Structure formats: structure tokens, C-alpha cells
Amino acid sequence: MTMLGDVLKRNLLQSWRHLCRKPSFCIVVVATLALGIGVNTAMFSLTYGLLLRPFPYANPDQLVRLRTDSTRPGQAGVDISIPDIVDYRASNRTFVAMGIFAERNIDLVDGTSAQSVNVALTTPGAFKALGVSPLVGRTFLEEEDQPGGDVYKTVLSYELWQARYGRDRNILGRQIRTPWPAIP
């Protein structure tokens, strides 16, 4: 054990002397190592973040996005229409939950200020399919998803709730005015 320690000590001392004699070589070696380690770290982080990290939902390997074949040549596919999803729900024997969503950009008006926000017009089944629930309040009920149901309900994202409303737990019941876009 002592012999190994002495050999290591001698080697480190000799390496230090050699580097002190040629400082430009030392700088090039350290810069090359730093650049190589930095580039590798960045590439592995990017690969993990874009390709390997699982979706932040319960059972992400069981999520499926349904699309229909396009009737136009060269177009890969289009999202399913509302009548199609109603038919799929009625005959479903495979999926635990089914929901639809359509993303839009709208102006959120609360009090006297307005803010442009990205929204997802969705059905109650989407929350169940993703396995998510709100921190405060509730998601949409199935009876609200019927023709003539009370469709004027909003579920705020955590980011919007935090940024615009300061995580106010008394947000429930507050009126928010928006020019809701038509669902395709």
C-alpha cells in the first residue's frame, strides 16, 4: 500500500514539473479536455431530454393518438373528427379512457387586463387518459360533455395559475371571459 502511494506521488510530482515547463501545452490539454467533456455532456443531455425522457403522465407507454387517413394525396393523416370520436367511444372495448383536444390561441380577459394564451379545448376523457388531476378544483364532468351541457368551464395550467393568479386557491368560481374559437 505504501509502495503504491509512493509511486503515485512520484508520478504526480513528475507530471506537475513537466506541465510547469510547458505551460502552453498544459493550457491546450486542459482546454481540449474541457471542450470534449462539455460537448459530450451537452449531447447526452439533449438526447435524454428529446428522445429518452418519458412523458410526464401516468403510464406514458399506453397513450395512443388516433388519426384518420387523409383523402388528399401526400398528406399523412388528420386528427379524428368529433363525430368519429363519439362513434369510437360508443363502440370502445379496448381503451381505458378516450378524450379529444384541439389547441388554439385565445385572449384571456380577467378584470381589466387581457393576455394571449395557448389553450386546449378538451373533453373529460383526456384528463383520465393522461392520468392527471388538478391541484385545486376538479376537471370536467361527463354530463358537461353532452350536447346542451354546461361547456363554459376552465381548467388552468399550473404555469398560468402561478404566473397570472399567483397560485390563488380562491380562483374557483371566478369569471374569465374569452372569445372561444369553434372546435373543428
pLDDT digits (tens, 9 = 90+) for 163-180: 888 888 888 888 777 665
Record the pTM: 0.57
Within a domain: 28? yes
Within a domain: 88? yes
115, 165: one domain: yes
112, 27: one domain: no
Within a domain: 183? no
pLDDT at 101 over 90: no
pLDDT at 181 over 70: no
Domain count, the chain: 2
Within a domain: 40? yes
Domain encompassing residue 22 = 2-52
Within a domain: 22? yes
94, 120: one domain: yes
Q: Residue 44 region, left (φ>0) first, then alpha (ψ -120 to 50), else beta?
A: alpha
Q: Tell me which long-range contacts 76-85 makes (C-beta under 8 A, separation of at least 24).
A: 79/184, 81/184, 82/183, 85/123
Q: 104 vs 62, 96, 121, CA distance in Å?
A: 26, 27, 8
Percent of the chain with pLDDT over 70: 87
Average pLDDT over residues 98-121: 80
99, 35: one domain: no
Within a domain: 179? no
Average pLDDT over residues 18-23: 82
Average pLDDT over residues 81-93: 82
81, 27: one domain: no
pLDDT at 47 over 70: yes
Average pLDDT over residues 119-146: 83
48, 83: one domain: no
148, 129: one domain: yes
Please tell me the predicted confidence (pLDDT) of residue 184.
47
67, 156: one domain: yes
Q: Residue 166 region, left (φ>0) first, then alpha (ψ -120 to 50), else beta?
A: left
Residues pairing with 108 in the sheet: 115
Q: What's the rounded Cα separation, in Å, for the pair 181 and 105?
A: 9
Please tell me the predicted confidence (pLDDT) of residue 1.
55
Within a domain: 177? no
Please tell me the predicted confidence (pLDDT) of residue 36.
95
Pairing of strands 113-122, 78-79: unpaired
Within a domain: 164? yes
Cell of 126: 383526456
42, 123: one domain: no
pLDDT band for 129, please (50, 70, 90 cuts): confident
Show which of 31, 52, 73 is a domain's final residue: 52
pLDDT band for 37, please (50, 70, 90 cuts): very high
